[in-house]
Structure 1
Amino acid sequence: MEKRYLILDDGTSFLGEGFGDLSNTTGELIINTDLNGYQEAITDPVYHNQIIMFTQPSIGNIGTNPQNYESIITSAKGIVVNQREDINQSPLKAQNLSEFLRERQIPGIWKIDTRALRQYVQSHHVQKASIVNTNDEHAFDQLTAAVLSNQQIQAVATPKPYLVPGSGMTIVVIDLGLRESIIRQLAKLNCNIIVVPWDTDFKGIISLAPEGVVISSGPGAPEEIDNTVLETITKLQPCLPLFGIGLGHELIAIANGATVTKMASGVHGNHHPIRQIITNDILYADQSQTYQIERQSIDNNRLIITFVDLINNSIQGLRSRDYPTFSVQFSPEGTSGIDSGLDLFAEFTESILVRRRLNNNEFGI
C-alpha cells in the first residue's frame, strides 16, 4: 500500500495509506457522521470542492449501487476514512468503493484516526486540507496558496432546462446543485418536473406555467450567489407556492430579510434530531449544513420558525406569514434510508391544490 498524508492548513499532518485515485487533491475539509449512505454523500453536489472525512469506522462495506447516485458527476475532492472495505454486496454487480473512486478520480486516504481528527478539526476550525504523497514544506506552501473556487453552483448545476415528464401538476425545480432524490420524490407524486438553471429569471420560470417551484439544495456560500436568484424568489413568492431545501432555504431566508452566517463547524450526516415546533414531534434527518440563519435577524412579521435543531438549536425550517412559501435546512427526500421528512413534499403539493381551489373559488370566498 502507498503511504500518503492528510495535511491541514494549520501545519498539521496525518500519515495514512492511499486508495482510490492516487493523485494529489485539495479541498475544504468537512466532517460527515453518516451511519450509512457514503455513496450518496460522495455523489451529492453539496460536497463540491470538499474533502469528506467519515467518522463511521468502516466505509465501503456494502459496495456501490447505481440507484443510490445523487448526481452522476461526482464533485467531492477526496475522502478520509479509518477503515476501508472493498466489499461489493450489490445484487446489481456494481463497483466496490476503491473502483468507484478510481473511475471518478477521487483520492482516498485510510488508517486515519477519524474520531480524534474530528475533535482536532472542531477545536482548531481547520478550513482546508490536502491528500498528498509528502508532508514537506512545499506541500504546505501549495496548500496555503490554494484558492478554492466560489463558482460552485455554476460547476454542478444544469446549464440548460430539461423535463422529467409526469401527468400531474407542473413543478419547476431551480437547480442550485440538485440532488436526484428531490426529483425522485416529486416523480413519486406524479409531478411533471421542469428543471431549470440556477440563474433562470422570473419571466423565464413563469413562461413555463408551473403551479409550484422548488428551490434546490446546493454547494457554496449563499452570499456569493448572484442576486438574480434572490430577485426571482422575491417575485415568485406572491405568485406561486415555493419550497426551499438546504441552500434554497437559506436564500428564501435572505430574500425575506434574514442574515445567514457560516458555522464554526458544520453539520453533515444522517439521523440528526430535528424538532417540529407546532407538533413537538422529533424527526431524524439527513444534514449537509455549513451555514445557518441568525435567529435575531428573523423578522417575525414575515417569517415563522417551524423546525429547530435539537443539538445546536439552529433554525431548520421557516414559513412565510404572507405567502405559500416554506423551507427546510435539512434534506427531506429520504436519502440514506431516512424518510422522516417526506410528508413535506406532500405538504407542498397540497398547498398547490389549495391554491387551485382558491383560484376556482371552490371555498365560496
Structure 2
Amino acid sequence: MENRACLVLANGQVFEGKGFGASGCIVGEAVFTTGMNGYIETLTDPSYFGQIVTQTFPLVGNYGKISPDFESARIHVRGYIVRSWCDEPSNFRCEGQIDEWLKSQNVIGLCGIDTRALTKVLREAGVMNGMIISGDSDEAKRNFAALDDADGKAKLLETIKSYRIEHAVESVSCDAVGIEKDSATVFEESAKYRAVPVRADGTKVNDAEDAMRDGRGKKVVLWDFGAKANIRRELLKRGLSVVTMPCSSTAAQILAENPDGVMLSNGPGDPSENVGIIEEIRKLLGSGVPIFGICLGHQLLALAKGAKTSKLKYGHRGANQPVKYLATGRVYISSQNHGYAVENDSLPSGAVMSFVNTNDGTCEGIVYTDTPAFSVQFHPEASSGPLDTGFLFDEFVRLINDRSHFASFTAATERIDAISYFAGTIKRTKEEQNTIAG
C-alpha cells in the first residue's frame, strides 16, 4: 500500500510522490543508475551502501524478487526511488513483489515522481544528500510539517547536508573467511541461463571442462571489500578455487593461504579513506602474487602504487558505459557503479592506462609493468549487464599460470602512443571531468 512520501534534496528541492516498501525517514547520498534491468542486482550490490538510488528506467519490479540473482545476502541501498513499481510481477522464477521485499528489509521506497527531472538535477548539480520521508509515523509527521515552515525546513536541510557515508567497506565486508561452493556446481547453475564464460572474440564457452581446464588446481583469495557474488561465480566457472577473506585481513594472513592469485573486489565509499587496506596492498605487491582489481579494488590498487583518486560529479552507474581498450582500439559496453575515479595524470611510472571511458576520458583500467597486476574500473562480471569484457578473468587465469604472459600482456598495452593520446582526448583536469557528460 502506498503512503504519502517525498524526497527532500540538500539544495532544498522537494519531489512529492508516494511511498512503498517500508515507512519512515532516511537520509543518504542521492544517485541515479541508468540500467534498464537488473534492479535485483542493484538493490543487493554492496557498492550502493549509504546511497539513495534512483532508477532512470520508468518501470521496476516486473519480474519481482528472485533470490538466486542476489549479489549479496541483503539489500544495501539506503533508499530506493522509481517512477513506478509493478505490483503484479510475471516471471517463472518470481518469489514475490519488490514492495514486500523492501518491507522485509526495512528499506524505504519512493515512487510516482518524475525521475527524469530528478536525474537532470543530479546531473547538473552533482550527487547530493537527500531525505526520503514516507508514511505517518511521528517522525515523518514532524518532517512533513517542517517543510511548511522556513525555519523548520532550514534545520531539516542542515541535517540532510551533514550526512556522511562512514565505515562503508567494514559495513559490507564478510566477517569470516569462507570457502565457496565448488566450480562444477556454479558452472551447471550458470549454464541453465547461458551465463557461461565469454572469450575475447565474443564466443561463449559452453563446455565446463574447456572453461575450467586452465584454472583447475589454482587458488584465488577474494579480498572482500563488498564483493558482488558474480565475481566469485566468474572465478569458479574458470575452475579456480576461491577463498573469501574479509577487508580486515592483512597481507600476511592472505599470503598464509598460499594463493596463486588475489582478487581485489568492488565496494562502497571513498577509496582514499581505506588507509589500512591500502598499506596492506602495498605489502602484498611485494610478494609477486598476481593481482586483479575491480572497481574499488582498482582504485585501492592505484592508491597503493602512488596514484590519486577524486570524486566525480555524478559518477558512472548503469549497464551502458562505453570503454575503449587502448591496446586494440576496440570499444566495449560495460556495466559500472562508481562515484570516484583514478586521476589520469597521477599514474606513477610502471602504471599504464589500459581502458578509458569514451564519454568523459576518465581512467577505466590500468596495467602495471613492474608487478603482475592489472585492474579495471568497470565490472567485467556484469550481472545484469553486458558480458563483453568477461575475457579479463581469462587473462587473470593466464597470468596465474604463466608469468611470462604478463610480459606480453603489458607489451600489448605499452604499444599505445600513450603520451600523445593522454595529451589529447584522455587527459582531463578535475574541472573537465566534472562537466563532461558521463
TM-score (norm 1): 0.93
Partner amino acid for 1:122? R
Between the aligned partners of 1:176 and 1:44, the Cα distance in structure 2 is 12
Q: Report what 2:67 is aligned to.
A: 66
- The answer (yes or no) to whether the contact 2:71–2:229 under 8 Å persists in 1 is yes
| Structure 1 spans left out of the alignment, 5+ residues | 359-365
Give the CA deviation at 1:52.
0.2
CA RMSD, Structure 1 to Structure 2 (Å): 1.8
- Which region of structure 1 is more displaced relative to structure 2, 84-93 or 245-254? 84-93
1:213 equivalenced with 2:262 (yes/no):
yes
Between the aligned partners of 1:336 and 1:291, the Cα distance in structure 2 is 21
Give the CA deviation at 1:85.
1.2
Give the CA deviation at 1:202.
1.3
2:282 to 221, 231, 234: 234
Between the aligned partners of 2:316 and 2:63, the Cα distance in structure 1 is 24
Give the CA deviation at 1:165.
5.0
Give the CA deviation at 1:141.
2.5
The percentage of counterpart residues that share the same residue type is 31
Give the CA deviation at 1:350.
0.7
1:178 equivalenced with 2:179 (yes/no):
no
Between the aligned partners of 1:119 and 1:56, the Cα distance in structure 2 is 14
- The answer (yes or no) to whether the contact 2:129–2:163 under 8 Å persists in 1 is no
- Which region of structure 1 is more displaced relative to structure 2, 234-243 or 327-336? 234-243
- The answer (yes or no) to whether the contact 1:10–1:126 under 8 Å persists in 2 is no
- The answer (yes or no) to whether the contact 1:334–1:340 under 8 Å persists in 2 is no
- The answer (yes or no) to whether the contact 2:28–2:163 under 8 Å persists in 1 is no
Between the aligned partners of 1:99 and 1:161, the Cα distance in structure 2 is 32
Between the aligned partners of 1:182 and 1:357, the Cα distance in structure 2 is 22
Q: Report what 2:31 is aligned to.
A: 30
1:197 to 222, 225, 246: 246
Between the aligned partners of 2:296 and 2:154, the Cα distance in structure 1 is 32
Q: Report what 1:311 is aligned to.
A: 359
Q: Report what 1:9 is aligned to.
A: 10
The verdict on how the C-alpha distance between 1:126 and 1:216 changes in structure 2, with shifts beyond 3 A counting, is: closer
Between the aligned partners of 2:129 and 2:83, the Cα distance in structure 1 is 19
Larger fraction in helix = 2
- The answer (yes or no) to whether the contact 2:398–2:405 under 8 Å persists in 1 is no
- The 5 Å alignment of 1:1-365 reads 1-133=2-134, 134=144, 135-137=147-149, 138=152, 141-145=155-159, 146-166=162-182, 168-225=217-274, 227-238=275-286, 239-299=288-348, 301-355=349-403
Residues 99-137 of structure 1: per-residue CA shift (max 9 Å, x gap) = 111111111111111111111122223410111042345
Residues 158-188 of structure 1: per-residue CA shift (max 9 Å, x gap) = 1211111546310001110111010111111
Between the aligned partners of 2:174 and 2:103, the Cα distance in structure 1 is 24
Give the CA deviation at 1:260.
0.3
Partner amino acid for 1:340? D
Name the SS for the 2:101 alignment partner.
Answer: helix
The verdict on how the C-alpha distance between 1:319 and 1:47 changes in structure 2, with shifts beyond 3 A counting, is: same
- The answer (yes or no) to whether the contact 1:65–1:90 under 8 Å persists in 2 is no
Give the CA deviation at 1:296.
1.2
Partner amino acid for 1:269? G
| Structure 2 spans left out of the alignment, 5+ residues | 135-143, 183-215, 407-438
Give the CA deviation at 1:354.
0.2
Q: Report what 1:362 is aligned to.
A: none
Residues 174-223 of structure 1: per-residue CA shift (max 9 Å, x gap) = 11011101011111112111111112111101110100000000000011
Residues 294-337 of structure 1: per-residue CA shift (max 9 Å, x gap) = 111112x2101000001111100001011110000001103114
Paired residue total: 356
The verdict on how the C-alpha distance between 1:67 and 1:156 changes in structure 2, with shifts beyond 3 A counting, is: same
- The answer (yes or no) to whether the contact 1:33–1:269 under 8 Å persists in 2 is yes
Q: Report what 2:211 is aligned to.
A: none
Partner amino acid for 2:238? L
Between the aligned partners of 2:16 and 2:57, the Cα distance in structure 1 is 19
Between the aligned partners of 1:47 and 1:136, the Cα distance in structure 2 is 31
Residues 41-77 of structure 1: per-residue CA shift (max 9 Å, x gap) = 1110000010001111111122121121011122111
The verdict on how the C-alpha distance between 1:118 and 1:228 changes in structure 2, with shifts beyond 3 A counting, is: same
- The answer (yes or no) to whether the contact 1:153–1:176 under 8 Å persists in 2 is yes
- The answer (yes or no) to whether the contact 2:227–2:266 under 8 Å persists in 1 is yes
Give the CA deviation at 1:144.
2.4
Partner amino acid for 1:328? V
- The answer (yes or no) to whether the contact 2:219–2:243 under 8 Å persists in 1 is yes
The verdict on how the C-alpha distance between 1:246 and 1:101 changes in structure 2, with shifts beyond 3 A counting, is: same
- The answer (yes or no) to whether the contact 2:351–2:368 under 8 Å persists in 1 is yes
TM-score (norm 2): 0.78
Partner amino acid for 1:254? L
Partner amino acid for 2:31? I
Between the aligned partners of 1:55 and 1:149, the Cα distance in structure 2 is 23
- The answer (yes or no) to whether the contact 2:344–2:363 under 8 Å persists in 1 is yes
Between the aligned partners of 1:121 and 1:172, the Cα distance in structure 2 is 37
Name the SS for the 2:262 alignment partner.
Answer: strand
